[in-house]
Amino acid sequence: MNLVIDGGNTFIKTAVFQNNTILDKQIFKKEEFLKKIDQLQKKFPEIEESILSSVTSLDPEVEKRLEKAFSLLRLDGNTKIPFTNSYATPQTLGIDRIALVAAAVNSYSGKNVLVIDAGTCITYDLKTSEEVYLGGAISPGLEMRFKSLHKFTANLPLVTAKPEPELIGDTTESSILSGIINGIKMELKGTVESYCSKFEDLTVIFTGGDSQILSIPLKNSIFANSNFLLEGLNFILEFNKTQ
């Protein structure tokens, strides 16, 4: 039984896996981490292995507690991964992107896959049918674009995202909604079309918190479930058990 931990800037996601099945999933604030570890250990005493992926620094006591409770694998640039990494600067590759590519290898082995993660940033990651990661792109995410317009101008308001804005905005708010949301959709459509022209039978995976708002109808596109990154982390943990 595995414990998978995805640490964000504010929230922590955990999932308990039995083989490939999630038995328990939780989302909580970083301050609750130590308490949650104790609760999970009591609820699932069968947990032996764990993997930690965090984009932010954690309380050292948390990692000490994890090491004491379980065998701990920290995902970083030196971790063995189930694909060939052709990124020119592998040590700078975000661990969340590593996990998403691993999930694509696990679920779509032998296929050309573009993973689009619409979160704080919009990331594009391409793995080939030979399970080679080539790289991709990083673009500002939805909330980042709204905040940038508000912060770097004197009079533009901070707007909240709404699905399906009009193409032609007739107020400042609706103009911002059109410019940002429709602009990202056009970016997505153009980027995917460019990838499709280079890679045959490309499968496109949309994931991340803003994937539904930014959804665009495309051939071969699949909306990944919200556990896609967690599944990738579990796959990396299982892969390292065999190395």
Q: 94 labelled as ligand-binding? A: yes
Strands (E), the chain: 2-7, 11-18, 21-29, 49-54, 71-74, 84-85, 113-118, 121-127, 132-140, 203-207, 221-223
Q: 117 labelled as ligand-binding? A: yes
Q: 98 labelled as ligand-binding? A: no
Q: 106 labelled as ligand-binding? A: no
Q: 13 labelled as ligand-binding? A: yes
Q: 205 labelled as ligand-binding? A: no
Q: 116 labelled as ligand-binding? A: no
Strands (E), 77-198: 84-85, 113-118, 121-127, 132-140
Q: How far apart are CA 113 and CA 155, in angstroms?
A: 42
Q: 97 labelled as ligand-binding? A: yes
Q: 170 labelled as ligand-binding? A: no
Q: 125 labelled as ligand-binding? A: no
59 annotated active-site: no
Which of 116, 121, 74, 109 is CA-nearest to residue 95?
Answer: 74
Q: 87 labelled as ligand-binding? A: yes
Q: How far apart are CA 10 and CA 31, in angstroms?
A: 9
Q: What type of residue sits at position 46?
A: E
Burial class (CB within 10 angstroms; exposed 0-12, middle 13-18, buried 19+) of 181: buried
Contact 180, 145 (CB under 8 A): yes
* Structure token pair of residue 126: 């391409």
Q: 110 labelled as ligand-binding? A: no
Q: 122 labelled as ligand-binding? A: no
Q: What type of residue sits at position 225?
A: N
Q: Which of 59, 76, 96, 125 is catalytic?
A: 96
3-state secondary structure of 11: strand
Q: How many residues would you count in the chain? A: 243
Residue numbers in the known binding site for K(+) are 117
Catalytic positions, please? 96
Residue numbers in the known binding site for ATP are 6-13, 120
Residue numbers in the known binding site are 6-13, 87, 94-97, 117, 120, 172
